[in-house]
A and B are shown apart, each in its own frame.
Chain A
Amino acid sequence: MSKIKFLTLGFIFGVILIKAEVISWFRIQEMFRFQAFQMYGIIGSAVVIGVISVFLIKKYNIKTIKGEEIKIEPKKFSIGNIIGGLMFGLGWAMTGACPGPLYALVGSGLLIIAVVLLSAVFGTWVYGCLRNKFPH
């Protein structure tokens, strides 16, 4: 049951990514060149809705549909937020995609993006193998 639930939610998210056009390499270029408002509007309004939702969940102690307490792990600061963040930023502007859009682009029929996705898996693997050699 829970598999169908997450498959459906992922499906909806995939449709939104395509219809929002955030999966477009050109849109990402527009954003980094400050030549269109679209991407800022999308990320900004998504964060506003997210902030309000999390605030309300905490304030009214809203439970999950199963009645469980909702837990959100706090993010701990690491120098990786900076170094890794800069690295991802470079890759974001090169590929025009972050991980969610990579999956959606492959689905949309762009098989070449499967190569980019595999390279991202490989990047994660290399990080995992060399993790102890980097500051955290």
Chain B
Amino acid sequence: MSILTQPWPWYVSGPLIGLMVPILLIMGNKTFGISSSLRHICAACIPGKAEFFKYDWKAESWNLIFALGIVLGGLVAGYFFANPNPIQISEATVADLSSMGIKDFSGFVPNDIFNFQSLLTVKGFLLMIVGGFFVGFGTRYAGGCTSGHSIMGMSNLQLPSLIATICFFVGGLAMTWFILPWIMSL
């Protein structure tokens, strides 16, 4: 059982994530990618007048089912295979984040910011609502996310995917080093 409750090292989990690429291709002729599911949710629930959401989303429903599978996997791994110990974060990161005011390092997210009460604070609203908006808007405008571009696209040696991945990192670095300290001070 300990193999299920212990966190998996990068050289186990990384190759397993990479194997999703050939497994999806061989089992279903599907290219790995998650962010399209957000578009299918829009097309299914709130298509409105936009041409972008007028397509046969049911033909792409495998992607939604895959996303539902991720939720169930998260549920089982989160409840039944949960690591009893807090995630081992590097001391330097803990020190940096503590100096920005984060106190709770026990969960997957800083529980002192990511909670329903702080949705009404400027800091919480920016990190959760605006952050989520950027994820949804940005991935669709970029034509994919970490899975569709950084893993699937790069596996197929696509230059646009390399460019997108570099931009993901530049955006993340700009947020982490320049904007996040300001948001945390609000």
Contact = CB atoms under 8 A, between A and B. Distances in A.
B24 interface: yes
A95 B126 CA distance: 9
A114 to B, nearest CB: 10
A50 B18 contact: yes
B94 to A, nearest CB: 8
A110 B75 CA distance: 10
Contacts of A98: 34-35, 135, 139, 145-147
B134 A123 contact: yes
Contacts of B22: 50, 53-54, 56-57
A39 B16 CA distance: 14
A65 B27 CA distance: 6
Contact of B171 (A14, A78, A86): A86
Contacts, number: 487
B122 interface: no
Q: Chain A: interface residue count, which band?
A: 35 or more
Nearest to B73: A14
Contacts of B134: 87-88, 90-91, 94, 123
Contact of A88 (B18, B70, B135, B183): B135
Interface string A49-88: 1110110110000101110101111111110111111111
Interface in B1-60: 4, 7-8, 10-11, 13-31, 34-35, 37-39, 41-42, 46, 48-53
Contacts of B166: 85
Q: Is the interface of B mostly helix, strand, loop or mixed?
A: helix
Given A112-B116, A123-B134, A26 B154 contact: no
Interface string B153-186: 1111111110111111111111111011001000
Nearest to B18: A49
Given A18-B77, A112-B119, 9 more contacts: A23-B74, A74-B158, A75-B158, A88-B167, A89-B138, A98-B147, A121-B42, A123-B137, A125-B42
Interface of B: 4, 7-8, 10-11, 13-31, 34-35, 37-39, 41-42, 46, 48-53, 62, 65-79, 81, 87, 89-90, 92-93, 96-97, 105, 107-110, 114-116, 119, 126-147, 149-161, 163-177, 179-180, 183
5 interchain residue pairs of minimum CB distance: A89-B171, A10-B69, A14-B73, A107-B74, A108-B78
